[in-house]
Structure 1
Amino acid sequence: MLADGHRVLFTVNDVWRPKLAAYGIETVELAKTNPTDDAVLDMDRSAHFIMSFGKIGGASAIEKIPFEANTAEFLTKYTQYMDTQLARLLPAIRPDVIVVDQFWTLPAVELSGIPCVWVWSFGPLMMVDDERTPPGESGLSATGDPRLWHEFRQLFRDVMIEKWRAFNDWVVGRGCKPLPELCFRNPSRYLHIYDYPLELGYQDIRSLGHNYVRFDHFKRTERDLTFAVPPVLADKPGKLIYFSFGSLCPVDVANMRRLVAILAKSPHRFIVSMGPKHKEYTLADNMWGAESVPQIRVLSLVDLVITHGGINTVTESLYFGRPMIAMPVFGEQYDNAQRLHDKGFGLRLDAYKCSEEELLAAIETLLNDLLMAERLAKVSRRIQTDNSLAKVSQLIEDFVQNPRKYID
């Protein structure tokens, strides 16, 4: 948007302001009003909240459904905080379009009457629940037993229905229309943009409305960042593997130590994104790591990715044609991992229960799968040649000028 001459303002907390400023992006700082606000906006503290809920841990996806009640309370506080902030900021900013990356609806945005684009940083099963596909966060296969889908949805409903009713009452009390049952947003009111590679999508199972537009990736451009294989690894034998569990999952230090101990027995080399608790565990001799690494630079150098299955890592790894061992921990990671497995672009393993033999064997299997490597190379060429991301600005401009074209 900036490159096309538009003025772009980000509402951010003080953690993100200097990061965006480096890219020349204007920011409007969110006000701090109480300790809860700080907690929901801080990544490290958010990770501990999520772990305390039980979402980060060795339970299965269906066993974690009862914890969704705690997540709902957390998201309610966050949404109400953001709503208060935007009710204050929007009249002063007076934007032509609002772009949000949210789980739940913001009444201040709906009541403003300003066209809104909802950018999804989560997989499509969480974006739209559809009986033709597995439920989001379930990790169930699209080719699996629909009775298991129904069981998961029913358990989710039993846990969340009262939380939804309370949230819906608040939304209506703010002056908005009621929400669809068990849905925490009014999806028909927005242009939805999401990233999911064509090869992983569910277009063969369901179609979405014309207000849903898919892109293969939202790959970041990390300007002024370079990366070379560290000397401690450069002269050692073996393939080069990237191990990242994102920003939140590494907060479970005990499991990170367990996985590092297994990977220490591999003949290959590892670049590790260690996460916020990087000082609380030690890497093995065949590894190098840091709290965070420039992922885009690293992915272009490695032969294999071991990931939690977060949407950024999945889409960016496919951009570079890298096979993945997906070890989901919570949320839509389960869905992404299963989809990779089903479509033949990687293997899904249990992040907490996989054995040493399973993980080490999976590494060798993927490194030696030449047919998978060919398929991934083809996907990578298609995505990089298509360059669909360049069309985002034009799409948003068209939506602002012709909203009825996208919203009935």
Structure 2
Amino acid sequence: MSSGKTIAFFPEAAFGPALNCVGIAQELRKMGHNPVFICDKGFSGVFAEYGFEEYPVNMSGDMSDEDVAKYWDNFIAQHLPHFKYSPLKQVEAYVAPVWDAIVDSAICAEPDLQMQLAKIKPDLICVDNVILFPAIKKAGCPWVRIISCSENEVTDPMVPPHLSGCSQGDYEGYKAFEAEFERCVAASHNRFNAFLKQQGEAPYPMGEFFEVSPTMNFLLYPKPLAFKRETPLSEDQFTYLEGCVRDEGVYEVPSFPAEYQDKPLIYVAFGSLGDSDVELYQRMLAAFANMPYRFLMKVGEDLSPYNKPANVHLQGWYPQPAVVPHADLFIHHGGNNSFNEALYFGKPAIIMPYCWDGHDNATRIEDTGYGRKLPRYDWTEQQLAKAIDDCLTNQSIQAKLPPLKEHMQKAQGGEKAAQVINEILNR
């Protein structure tokens, strides 16, 4: 073990990447290192709750915290109808505007990021994001890329394009999605390349916004579900973490009425973005009321729009890694934390995606036989009930999960990442 080193984590301003980084940082702290977090100012306090020092950066220009919150509330409200679109149709309607905002944030963050890195003087940087921040490469220390999104964020001709929701081998689908993606993000990409040139970095090929680290790249993805590749990923440069589950303590399942107390327990969570979809949640609750199961459902801070059936427990937020072990089934949106945590604890999943790599993970869970993909909106109560029953009783699904659970838990992703980082620091 090396003497304590300073490792700067810089996750995207989203809870999935942020909490994955917490899991790795917790393990590094146990080893005697000093993990710190660089974060968007809107995420200040998230990492301090876990006992980590924070260094905020401004990724929102002159907007106040209140203005930023309003901006994103309006952004989601504007795009909520687009979650009903296919992945291909979402490219112009939703994906391209998101990339435009991501480019804005990278340009805005650069001065603060350079300043904070000069202050921290890290021995190593871990960045979990979808776009390059030039300051990371200029910091004078090794940097590790953490890929929290689907494994297909690392491209290969045989692998479905990221965000496409294509099955492996659907090459016509690949071609159509890639052409539409490059058309729709061209303006944002050209603006980003101009910024890279200004910072002394080489431009990226059309459609690319990041690169793999020359030192190490962590894939949160479980290797047994990995895509077949024309060029296999080198073990010297890529490490599958098989999930990275943070410690959220112990969770006690609430009591339900006697007639439901021994029924299967189903956990339902669609991420913070999904909590804006009140109409969908109301529809799901009406369906759950007619089903012979217990439900734990995350709905966001405002519980007032919902009529809670007797067999449903509603909460604004759950300590997910502590909850999933109790569940018999996990219904989620396909975010990478939820995708990995269901499999890590040996639970079948129904993925109802609305955007981004949720489409990829939903297709992958169906294609590999570890759960079911269900349209987010175009479903009947009978179809939802059938998918739930299938996941709970299908012998093929149930037989595949325990070996995968054993494989992922044996890997101990957070500890594995910390050990690799420690080895890099000792070189």
Q: Could you tell me how far apart the structure 2 residues matched to 1:351 and 1:305 are?
A: 15
Partner of 2:87: 61
Which of the numbers 211, 219, 241 marks the counterpart of 2:237? Answer: 211
Aligned AA for 2:293? H
**Secondary structure of the corresponding residue to residue 8 of structure 1:** strand
Does structure 1 retain, via aligned residues, the 8 Å contact 2:268–2:295?
yes
Q: Could you tell me how far apart the structure 1 residues matched to 2:143 and 2:354 are?
A: 31
Question: Measured at CA, do residues 317 and 71 of structure 1 come closer, stay the same or move farther in structure 2, by a change above 3 Å?
Answer: same
Does structure 2 retain, via aligned residues, the 8 Å contact 1:240–1:304?
yes
Does structure 1 retain, via aligned residues, the 8 Å contact 2:267–2:296?
yes
**Secondary structure of the corresponding residue to residue 396 of structure 2:** helix
Select between 362-371 and 391-400 the one with higher mean Cα deviation. 391-400
Which of the numbers 34, 37, 51 marks the counterpart of 1:10? Answer: 37
Report the count of equivalent residues. 397
Q: Could you tell me how far apart the structure 1 residues matched to 2:376 and 2:67 are?
A: 26
Does structure 1 retain, via aligned residues, the 8 Å contact 2:265–2:293?
yes
Partner of 1:137: 163
Question: Measured at CA, do residues 233 and 207 of structure 1 come closer, stay the same or move farther in structure 2, by a change above 3 Å?
Answer: farther
Aligned AA for 2:140? G
Matched, 1:52 2:73: no
**Secondary structure of the corresponding residue to residue 99 of structure 1:** strand
Q: Once the two structures are aligned, what percentage of the paired residues are identical?
A: 27
Consecutive unaligned residues in structure 1, runs of 5 or more: 403-408
Tell me the TM-score normalized by structure 1: 0.90
**CA offset digits 1:254-279 (Å, max 9, x no partner):** 11212222222211110001124433
Question: Measured at CA, do residues 24 and 305 of structure 1 come closer, stay the same or move farther in structure 2, by a change above 3 Å?
Answer: same
Question: Measured at CA, do residues 152 and 391 of structure 1 come closer, stay the same or move farther in structure 2, by a change above 3 Å?
Answer: same
Does structure 2 retain, via aligned residues, the 8 Å contact 1:50–1:56?
no
Does structure 2 retain, via aligned residues, the 8 Å contact 1:251–1:276?
no
Aligned AA for 1:282? N
Partner of 2:21: none
Partner of 1:351: 376
Question: Measured at CA, do residues 20 and 166 of structure 1 come closer, stay the same or move farther in structure 2, by a change above 3 Å?
Answer: closer
Question: Measured at CA, do residues 369 and 346 of structure 1 come closer, stay the same or move farther in structure 2, by a change above 3 Å?
Answer: same
Q: Could you tell me how far apart the structure 1 residues matched to 2:273 and 2:89 are?
A: 20
Question: Measured at CA, do residues 321 and 265 of structure 1 come closer, stay the same or move farther in structure 2, by a change above 3 Å?
Answer: same
Q: Could you tell me how far apart the structure 1 residues matched to 2:396 and 2:368 are?
A: 13
**Secondary structure of the corresponding residue to residue 47 of structure 2:** helix
**Secondary structure of the corresponding residue to residue 223 of structure 2:** coil
Partner of 2:105: 78
**Secondary structure of the corresponding residue to residue 284 of structure 1:** coil
Report 1:2-401 matches (<5 A): 2-13=29-40, 16-30=43-57, 34=61, 36=63, 38=65, 46=72, 48-53=74-79, 57-67=83-93, 68-125=95-152, 127-143=153-169, 145-203=170-228, 206-209=231-234, 210-223=236-249, 226-232=250-256, 236=260, 237-401=262-426
Aligned AA for 2:314? G
Aligned AA for 1:273? K
Does structure 2 retain, via aligned residues, the 8 Å contact 1:341–1:347?
yes
Q: Could you tell me how far apart the structure 1 residues matched to 2:65 and 2:231 are?
A: 40
Alpha-carbon shift at residue 139 of structure 1 (Å): 0.8
Does structure 1 retain, via aligned residues, the 8 Å contact 2:59–2:105?
no
Alpha-carbon shift at residue 232 of structure 1 (Å): 3.0
Q: Could you tell me how far apart the structure 2 residues matched to 1:62 and 1:33 are?
A: 29
Does structure 2 retain, via aligned residues, the 8 Å contact 1:53–1:71?
no
Does structure 2 retain, via aligned residues, the 8 Å contact 1:32–1:38?
no
Partner of 2:11: none
Does structure 2 retain, via aligned residues, the 8 Å contact 1:37–1:78?
no
Q: Could you tell me how far apart the structure 1 residues matched to 2:33 and 2:209 are?
A: 31
Q: Could you tell me how far apart the structure 2 residues matched to 1:117 and 1:204 are?
A: 22
